């Protein structure tokens, strides 16, 4: 057994430096190429305009990051021409400083109807097309009045497919940013493993993870720590736990650099693992590996899910989503959102292409006993699947 060399959380924090400061953000040239690709797809599908709300898609295409509020604030991407940014009038000075891709800023005063402004701007565009496509993250409180004002002038659809066609294929620059985030978060993971002690609480662990990501210069997104029987539940339990010898430990965490996320899960035992724990862990490892091997260029996403699930059902778990077994999809895409396209799930016939990034996490859940999740992120290279981080070798060697 390869037991960790104990190092306190405080010692680990002292050793962390800001690694994110050296990472360049996405260039203006790449942002422009993204808009050009979107506009090409829009012209092919008769879409006159895409409305982007205060979502990661706004950041993806324009480089502008806005916080959501009750005030309409976003951008219109026409099928040809420059973006039109929508801003409350009193926010215009700030909006100007956030613009990276040149375009008009259209403003509205507090007593005015911003939905009417957006509807008229879209309908009056010189761009071709008979369709308005909404960013799927647009709140109904904004999309509904815009739709009402447009009336019969344009057909209304969701922009999910258009946006996914752009965002689910990562560039080399995006892959490099995600790699930095994943490498840094794996360091945090290892520091948790080294710093565990009997009696530590899950709250203390998650507080350390947040502090560690901040020390590394990353924006902390989430941390989940589960001990013992609580590890059986994919999204944890609504109460803290304290660590005991022999507990299964599940740690899931993520942070981002320039909005690009990391996401890694490790499961191991604090102390000596029992034969039953080893059996479950090894079964999960086998399913995890099967998913990786099924992730071949040109294969549909659902085949990856099927390969992992077959390992478990052949061993008597499941079937389908029944527990003991795998109660959820095998993976999700990862990028500027923690969960995005492509989803590794039955029914998703999207074929794997170079640049796609997604998780491999076919969790084995045994309610009332424990659970095991090994999550690593895969990116599809020109040659096939590649892990960003080295997978766990064994229940005793979760970090190589």
pLDDT in tens, 76-120: 999 999 999 999 999 999 999 999 999 999 999 999 999 999 999
Residues listed for the chain: 400
Pairing outcome for strands 331-333 and 340-344: antiparallel
Closest to 1 (Cα-Cα) out of 277, 227, 241, 370: 277
Helix (H) or strand (E) holding 93, with range, is: helix 92-98
What DSSP designation does 18 have?
-
Q: Residue 53: is its pLDDT beyond 70?
A: yes
Q: Residue 400: is its pLDDT beyond 80?
A: no
Average pLDDT of the chain is 97
Q: What number is the average pLDDT over the span 31-45?
A: 98
Predicted local distance difference test score (pLDDT) of residue 220: 97
**Rounded CA gap, 167 and 214, in Å?**
27
Q: Residue 1: is its pLDDT beyond 50?
A: no
Q: Give the orientation angle of helix 28-44 with respect to helix 160-167, to 10 degrees.
A: 140
**Paired residues of 104 in beta bridges:** 84
**Rounded CA gap, 290 and 231, in Å?**
22
Task: For residue range 335-386, list pLDDT tens digits in order.
Answer: 999 999 999 999 999 999 999 999 999 999 999 999 999 999 999 999 999 9
Q: Is the dihedral of CA 386, 387, 390, 393 positive or negative?
A: negative
The angle at the Cα of 384, spanning 380 to 386, to the nearest 5 degrees, equals: 60
**Paired residues of 189 in beta bridges:** none
Q: Residue 2: is its pLDDT beyond 90?
A: no
Helix (H) or strand (E) holding 302, with range, is: helix 301-314
Predicted local distance difference test score (pLDDT) of residue 203: 98
Q: Residue 3: is its pLDDT beyond 80?
A: no
Predicted local distance difference test score (pLDDT) of residue 288: 98
Tokens of 16: 């962390």
| Strand ranges for the chain from DSSP E | 47-52, 74-78, 84-88, 104-108, 131-134, 155-158, 219-227, 248-257, 260-261, 264-269, 331-333, 340-344, 357-360, 364-366, 370-372, 376-380, 385-387
**Rounded CA gap, 209 and 327, in Å?**
27
Task: For residue range 311-342, list pLDDT tens digits in order.
Answer: 999 999 999 999 999 999 999 999 999 999 99
**Rounded CA gap, 364 and 323, in Å?**
8
Q: Are 249 and 229 in contact (CB under 8 A)?
A: no
3-state SS assignment for residue 261 = strand
**Rounded CA gap, 77 and 55, in Å?**
14
Instruction: Report residue 67's pLDDT band, with 50, 70 and 90 as the boundaries.
Output: very high
**Rounded CA gap, 139 and 195, in Å?**
42
**Paired residues of 252 in beta bridges:** 224, 265
**What is the DSSP annotation of 19-68?**
-GGG-----HHHHHHHHHHHHHHHHHTTEEEEEE-SSHHHHHHH------
Predicted local distance difference test score (pLDDT) of residue 69: 95
Task: For residue range 260-300, list pLDDT tens digits in order.
Answer: 999 999 999 999 999 999 999 999 999 999 999 999 999 99
CB count, 10 Å around CB of 165? 14
The terminus-to-terminus CA distance of the chain in angstroms comes to: 12
Alpha carbon of 116 to those of 105, 129, 228: distances in Å? 15, 20, 55
Q: pLDDT exceeding 90 applies to what percent of the chain?
A: 98
Q: What number is the average pLDDT over the span 231-253?
A: 97
Q: Are 226 and 237 in contact (CB under 8 A)?
A: yes
């Amino acid at each position: 057994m390869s037991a960790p060399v104990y190092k306190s959380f405080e010692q680990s924090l002292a050793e962390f430096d800001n690694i994110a400061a050296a990472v360049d953000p996405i260039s203006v040239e790449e942002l422009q190429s993204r808009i050009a690709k979107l506009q090409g797809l829009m012209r092919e599908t008769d879409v006159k305009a895409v409305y982007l709300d205060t979502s990661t898609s706004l950041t993806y295409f324009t480089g502008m990051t806005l916080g959501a509020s009750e005030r309409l604030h976003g951008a219109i991407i026409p099928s040809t021409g420059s973006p039109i940014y929508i801003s409350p009038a009193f926010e215009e000075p700030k909006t100007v400083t956030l613009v990276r891709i040149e375009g008009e800023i259209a403003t509205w005063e507090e007593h005015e109807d911003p939905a009417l402004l957006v509807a008229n701007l879209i309908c009056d565009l010189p761009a071709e097309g008979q369709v308005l496509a909404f960013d799927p993250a647009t709140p109904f409180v904004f999309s509904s009045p815009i739709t009402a004002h447009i009336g019969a002038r344009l057909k209304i659809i969701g922009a999910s497919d258009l946006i996914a066609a752009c965002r689910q294929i990562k560039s080399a620059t995006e892959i490099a940013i995600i790699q930095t985030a994943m490498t840094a978060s794996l360091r945090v993971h290892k520091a948790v493993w080294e710093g565990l002690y009997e009696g530590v609480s899950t709250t203390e662990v998650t507080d350390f993870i947040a502090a560690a990501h901040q020390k590394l210069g990353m924006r902390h997104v989430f941390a989940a720590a589960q001990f013992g029987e609580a590890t059986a539940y994919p999204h944890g339990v609504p109460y803290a736990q304290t660590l005991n010898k022999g507990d299964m430990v599940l740690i899931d965490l993520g942070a981002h650099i320039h909005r690009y996320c990391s996401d890694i899960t490790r499961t191991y035992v604090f102390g000596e693992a029992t034969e039953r724990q080893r059996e479950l862990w090894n079964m999960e490892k086998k399913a995890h590996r099967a998913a990786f091997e099924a992730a071949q260029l040109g294969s549909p996403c659902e085949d990856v899910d099927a390969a992992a699930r077959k390992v478990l059902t052949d061993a008597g778990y499941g079937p389908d989503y029944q527990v003991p077994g795998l109660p959820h999809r095998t993976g999700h895409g990862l990028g500027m959102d923690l969960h995005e396209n492509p989803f590794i799930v039955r029914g998703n016939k999207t074929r794997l292409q170079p640049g796609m990034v997604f998780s491999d996490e076919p969790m084995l859940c045994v309610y009332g006993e424990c659970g095991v999740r090994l999550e690593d992120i895969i990116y599809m290279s020109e040659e096939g699947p590649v892990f960003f981080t080295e997978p766990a070798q064994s229940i005793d060697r979760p970090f190589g």
